[in-house]
Structure 1
Amino acid sequence: MADYAAARRAMVDNQIETSAVTDQRLLSVLRRVPRELFVPAARRALAYTDAPHPVGNGRVLPAPAVFARLVQLAGIRETDRVLDHGAGNGYSTAVLAGLAREVVALDSDPAMTQAARTTLRDLGIANVEIRAGDISAQHFNTFDAIIIEGAVDEVPDALIRLLAPDGRLVCIVRQGPTGIASLSTRTSAGVVTRSSFNATLPLLEQAAAPEVFVF
């Protein structure tokens, strides 16, 4: 039987900490969340390798170091309300739920969201709301942090409008065959965007602007 706990520790020690991830809260959560439950059963022995994993319908679970660096870039706080856009089958949501007060997970694939709902329930993770559908059909209040689990051609204005004051949006902006991790922050002077590191993820289809309701 595979020792997934040992594999998880090795993933953090050898892949993530060596990739300039220093957020101790994040490292602790990554050591706890069972990544193997979020990959197809036939690939569980490979769940902790330094590679993206196909999870169906052309979607992938990002390589551990890429994902960890994106989450660290968002600077998730214990009091934050977070949108996990393109959440897939829920691994990213499980990690974010260990860092934030509340996570809303959205994915356009109903099968993915059902798988996420089942796995997160089985893990006893309760501070999440999982929604299926296109973002243009959703009604949201604002978020302290937004993470897009896929590459985009540009930072989406529709999601920028969902940022609370001091809110952060993290995404990978595609530039040819690769991409750049981008952090956009809502400040009192407007939204400030800066580039951080090179990374690659499959393209996440962009959609029309959602309606925004602030409560």
Structure 2
Amino acid sequence: MRTQTMPQTNSLSVPTSADFAEARQIMVDDQIRPVEVNDPRIVAAMRELPRELAVPEDQRRFAYADRSLPLGNGRFLLQPMVLARLTQMAHIEPGERVLIVGAGMGYLASLVAALEAQVTALESDPLLAAAGQLYTAHAAPAVAWRQGSLTEGAPGEAPFDLIFFEGAVPDIPAFCAAQLAPQGRVAGVLQPEDGTSSAFLAHHDKEDGWAIRRFFDAAAPVLPAFAPAPAFVF
């Protein structure tokens, strides 16, 4: 597998748009296609979306590396392979109403919008929300942004066919059941306190509660808003 760190000729070299474009194709060929991401819409979108503009400037050199990248304040853009597999797992259809929880700087929201979904991007951090709106203004102008608490969802825009968490959660947040459309679903990475971490898709029934399917092991940082409170040790 080829490295995804941007090529350098010396310590002062600056990657060019051509360098990023080449790295984007390598990312898809070496990271996305080998893990059986075969939805042509996802593959095409990830060949086009400028991931380097969805991270802070000091992280752009690593935008196409096989790892999650820090956005600040404990937030991350998930590694390309995980995002691609999660998106494929969610089976997003044109016209579906999708809420992205913890939308960061807008990369996943833009990817989902490329699948012709109606996307609402929810972000609590004002700096990330501002950066995300700038990103999607060019990459996916139809994305609607809402700034507010991640733990409350977006009740004004509900119901949603899909609630998609851009980061791990220890369990399914309480707001999800109330904001899902009939037959709606929740997707993301479930990381309970037992240390496991897996991609999940969940449906809710008023009588039976959540039916959760786990699809594959997936390492992802927990969204800080949902992190369990530290226990007191005596």
TM-score, scaled to structure 2: 0.81
The residue that corresponds to 1:43 in the other structure is 59
Equivalents in 1 of 2:37, 2:183: separation in Å? 22
Bigger fraction of residues in strand:
1
Equivalents in 2 of 1:177, 1:119: separation in Å? 34
Q: Return the match for 2:74 from 47, 58, 70.
A: 58
Verify the 8 A CA contact 2:201 2:212 in the aligned structure 1.
yes
1:101, distance to aligned residue in structure 2 (A): 3.1
Q: Return the match for 1:106 from 105, 111, 122.
A: 122
Equivalents in 1 of 2:140, 2:167: separation in Å? 23
Q: 1:38 to 1:77 in 2, by over 3 A?
A: same
Equivalents in 2 of 1:187, 1:158: separation in Å? 14
The residue that corresponds to 1:203 in the other structure is 222
Alignment identity in percent?
Answer: 39
Verify the 8 A CA contact 1:166 1:185 in the aligned structure 2.
yes
- Say if 2:166 is the partner of 1:149: yes
**What 5-or-longer segments of structure 2 have no aligned partner?**
1-15, 228-234
Per-residue deviation, residues 72-94 of structure 1 (Å, max 9, x unmatched): 11111111111000111111111
Equivalents in 1 of 2:217, 2:183: separation in Å? 24
Aligned counterparts, 1:78-157, within 5 A: 78-121=94-137, 123=138, 125-135=140-150, 136=152, 138=154, 139-157=156-174
The residue that corresponds to 1:213 in the other structure is none
1:137, distance to aligned residue in structure 2 (A): 7.5
Which amino acid is the alignment partner of residue 226 of structure 2?
Q
CA-atom RMSD in angstroms: 2.1
User: What SS class does the counterpart of residue 127 from structure 2 fall into?
Assistant: helix
Aligned residues: 206
Per-residue deviation, residues 135-181 of structure 1 (Å, max 9, x unmatched): 42742321111110111111223113322123221021114444111
TM-score, scaled to structure 1: 0.88
Q: 1:188 to 1:73 in 2, by over 3 A?
A: farther
Aligned counterparts, 1:15-54, within 5 A: 15-54=31-70
**What 5-or-longer segments of structure 1 have no aligned partner?**
208-215
